Amino acid sequence: MLASRTPAWRSKFLVALIGAGFVLLIGRAAYVQVIGSEFFQKQGEIRYARTLDLTASRGRILDRHGVILASSVPVPSLWAIPKDLEASAAQRRQLARLLGMTPKDLDGRLDDSPNFVWLRRQVDEALAKEVLALGIKGIYQVREYKRQYPEGEAAAHVVGFTNVEDKGQEGIELAFQHELAGRNGSRRVIKDRLGRVVEDIGDSVAPLDGRDIALSIDSKVQFFAYQRIRDAVAQHKAKAGSVVVLDARSGEVLALANFPSFNPGDRSRLTGEQLRNRALTDTFEPGSTMKPFIAGWAMESGRVTPKTVIQTAPGRITITGATISDSHPHGALTVEEVIQKSSNVGTVKMAMQMQPREMHELFSKAGFGQKPQIDFPGAVTGRLRPYKSWRPIEQATMSYGYGLSASLFQLARAYTVFAHDGEVMPISLLKKPPQEVSASEGPVSGVKVLSPQTAASVRQMLQLAAGPGGTAPLAQAMGYSVGGKTGTAHKQEGKGYSAQKYRSWFVGMAPISQPRIVVAVMVDEPSAGQYYGGLVAAPVFSEVVQQTLRSLGVPPDLEVRPQIVTRQLPAVEESF
């Protein structure tokens, strides 16, 4: 066999096969490298190239003085690749304990996906170190941004909060989500099979950090208002309470506080009762706080003067078969005294001289029945029915605040009519540039409702109402003249009113000669024996006024002298 000759065709055939193989390899190489290069590059990128997000830092929320109300800080988040996870039973138990879950819950989470699962997001540094110290293969950490809220419960309803994805859910965080969020950047890289970055490909897009939002809120005023309403709710065993403080010159919101509240940084036990921004979302019949508007328009239209005498005896009036009464008979009262004593009969007699259209236009211009034009979620419209549907008895009851509804925020804004020379102010939660706010007078113009002279006359009536002989002597503030109006009403339940549940409020301004602030206070369902607005809400108004004016550097306009104050029951502001 060794000596036999090999046919020549066989060697040629083998050489031809080898040559054909080389031709195929060259052709395939040419196809991969030249003809189909784009396809194969794309497939390679799918397997090894990754686009990494370059996270933008969320903008801060600041108060009017630059105090931080919300900011983002980098924190670790823990994640795992379940298919790569190698851990003993003891390590799994330790891991579950550190993550605050049972071993069964941990196993269930790891079974969700073989390639990626979050273990816990936005944890503190110490916990992340303890987890990584277990030395479990397949567990990693990544840095994310977490929001912090230094003012806690005091500013929670204003600032709001974000979810774990850093998207605004409530308050300013939601209202200015686009401005605060900024825009994420990106980086295109190639990773090896172990997930390590080998090289960058293409151009990176730098992130655009979010814009800081400067609010009109004064953190000191906000904190003090929150403390006072929290204490009042506890003292009177109430369900809830709210305070709104406005700058009467610029229309800026200096404080908007509610209780109960919540910690925006820890929402594990958050309830709807805590979350509600009651000052903006809850509406109620404003009651006696509407009487100054009726008196103001009666003077503006020339029907009465502050000294015009109105006979309110015998303390009741009948309109289309329905009787409206005062708490007790007053006899003859001047218009000033009608507001001071909060006479329903005197107010109704002024209102019934007006056309329904007049009253409707007056209330509409003051902002009732209209949604507040404010960059904030949840603000409600309230209710003000068309005047053409009013019956005479409805016109009468609306004159002293029944048959329409408003939020505490709307009521505070409406009282800027008296504080700002007859104009209802546009309200802002954002700090206005310094050039827009003059030190001497309010440059911001609003909707004209009354003349400056009429507004000044009403302020004098409000001062009487908040003084001795009025419905709220406890509203007096040491060193500052004040004026305002109380309200107390049975709460509506279904189609009627509860006999045992009340809502008490007070809205006013100070100093009375040149008002700098408007403050509105509401206490919901006081149940400790006192429920009149002059006893429940007026003391909160007094304390907030003193603290706010001192914080703003407003000099006292009254001489401060030592005196003994006796706490007595104020005049009843209305009959129920």
Please list the active-site residues.
288
Note whether 161 and 270 are within 8 A (CB): no
In the chain the first and final C-alpha atoms are separated, in Å, by 128
Query: What residues does 517 pair with on adjacent strands?
Result: 247, 510
**HSE-up (13 A, CA, CB side) for residue 73:** 11
Note whether 128 and 78 are within 8 A (CB): yes
Tell the burial category of 211 from Cβ atoms under 10 Å away from its Cβ (0-12, 13-18, 19+).
middle
Tell the burial category of 53 from Cβ atoms under 10 Å away from its Cβ (0-12, 13-18, 19+).
exposed
Closest by Cα among 556, 553, 573, 488 to 526: 488
Using CA atoms, how far apart are residues 294 and 368, in angstroms rounded to an integer? 14
Q: Which residues of 334-362 are buried (b: 16+ CB within 10 A; e: fewer)?
A: bbbbbbbbbbbbbbbbbbeebebeebbeb
Q: What 3-state DSSP class applies to 256?
A: strand
**HSE-up (13 A, CA, CB side) for residue 453:** 6
Closest by Cα among 171, 203, 185 to 275: 171
Q: What 3-state DSSP class applies to 425?
A: coil
The Cα angle at residue 413 between residues 410 and 419, in degrees rounded to 5? 150
Using CA atoms, how far apart are residues 323 and 319, in angstroms rounded to an integer? 6
Note whether 505 and 519 are within 8 A (CB): no
Closest by Cα among 205, 87, 211, 74 to 138: 87
Closest by Cα among 574, 13, 41, 54 to 339: 574
**Residue 240: how many CB atoms within 10 A of its CB?**
20
**Residue 76: how many CB atoms within 10 A of its CB?**
21
Tokens of 498: 């509860």
**Residue that has been written with the tokens 């979302």 in this structure:** 281
